[in-house]
Homo-oligomer: A and B are copies of this chain.
């Protein structure tokens, strides 16, 4: 039996759409919300009443038109609470405090050494980054309604977090519980690829298109994918591992154990490997930390360093090829680039990738295809985690069900496994 959308799911989607419309339009009348979402006036009125009663929305202004009834403009009440979004990467923890309308209020960052990533070390870094952001924003602890934390690895809704990196020997770590115990706040953990695509859907090209991929370039690389307005999570919340699709069968060793993965060419270590192929003595390779290496590359490119120009050229070739695969498989109309490597190198990578992409994309998928640096403001991972945390908050208030935000185990799966060949 396949799963089915029920009227209840539809109702939950409607709630999120009213919320999304408010993010997009700013303060709006019920009429404007109905027009923008395509929902009936009656449905919008009911949903708005529920949101108002929980204090999630408030009335921003009342306009008195000649002759008509007073028009109330509604908006998300930013002061209903505070949300912390946290981006945990192998090289840093970045925390941002947001108001309920997802406006950034303050920011904290802690550097992590990618060579030293034990659980206690990482948890301590997360706590310190959150404390720093809370202090910078002048937030009182009791006003925080939730913390969303992105972990670089496989985040399984039941089994916990596993990270498969050489220096992160984590398996089934229940980081959610560890942080909740320490912070005494509700914590939601997910994977950065899910966070960046939610950000892109709410605050980026998702305002214009329904289907898109957002490619995240940093120490690791991956893609967030949305199709027809739905985030693709996969059977075990592990979709989007574009970094572990092949660029070169039996090619460079990847840290995942496989050879020739996209990440072995486009992750920071991949860039270092490419530069070492061009000039093993290049001074940028003497930087002990990845952040400093990427900074040295960006500076050197600005200065016109020929070895680094060659690095940018080869990296753009790899990126165009790997994006071509993504487009050929999914026929998405839009790809955006995010992540700290993208941010540092976009001006060299994006034009070159646009030039080469037609050589890789099937002709039928090329017309109207757009590739651009993501326009999502601030840290897209932290913002996406804050958006998930807002959804979780609405669920706790009874204003939404978890249907849309978490992958669901299929209760019927396995019934008929006898006729399938398990790998």
- Whether the pair B330, A420 counts as a contact (CB closer than 8 A) is no
A360 interface residue per 8 A CB criterion = yes
Which 7 A-B pairs rank lowest in CB-CB distance, beginning with the nearest? A234-B331, A154-B364, A245-B325, A370-B420, A239-B331, A235-B333, A241-B328
Beyond A235-B333, A237-B331, list 18 extra A-B contacts (CB 8 Å).
A2-B206, A4-B37, A154-B363, A164-B364, A208-B413, A208-B415, A211-B235, A227-B232, A236-B331, A236-B364, A237-B364, A240-B329, A241-B331, A244-B328, A256-B362, A257-B359, A258-B324, A258-B360
Show the binding face of A for B, using Cβ within 8 Å.
1-7, 10, 13, 17, 20, 36-39, 154, 156, 162, 164, 201, 205-211, 223, 225, 227-230, 232-242, 244-249, 251, 256-258, 318, 321-322, 324-326, 328-334, 350, 354, 357-372, 375, 410, 412-417, 419-423
* Count of chain copies: 2
Contact A2 B238 (CB under 8 A): no
Residues on B with beta carbons closer than 8 Å to the beta carbon of A363 = 154, 162, 164
- Could you say which residues of chain B place their CB within 8 Å of the CB of A415? 208
Contacts of A364 in B (CB 8 A): 154, 156, 162, 164, 236-238
The smallest beta-carbon distance between A238 and chain B, in angstroms, is 4
Is there contact, CB below 8 Å, between A241 and B420?
Answer: no
Q: What residue of chain B has the Cβ atom nearest to residue A369's Cβ? A: B423
Nearest to A366 among chain B residues (CB) is B423
For A331, list chain B residues within 8 Å (CB): 233-241
Select A246's contact among B201, B207, B239, B246, beta carbons within 8 Å.
B246
Instruction: Sample 24 A-B pairs with CB under 8 A, ordered by A number.
Output: A1-B207, A2-B20, A2-B206, A2-B207, A4-B13, A4-B229, A5-B5, A154-B364, A162-B363, A227-B232, A233-B331, A234-B330, A236-B364, A237-B331, A238-B331, A241-B365, A242-B329, A245-B325, A246-B247, A246-B322, A329-B329, A333-B413, A357-B423, A372-B421
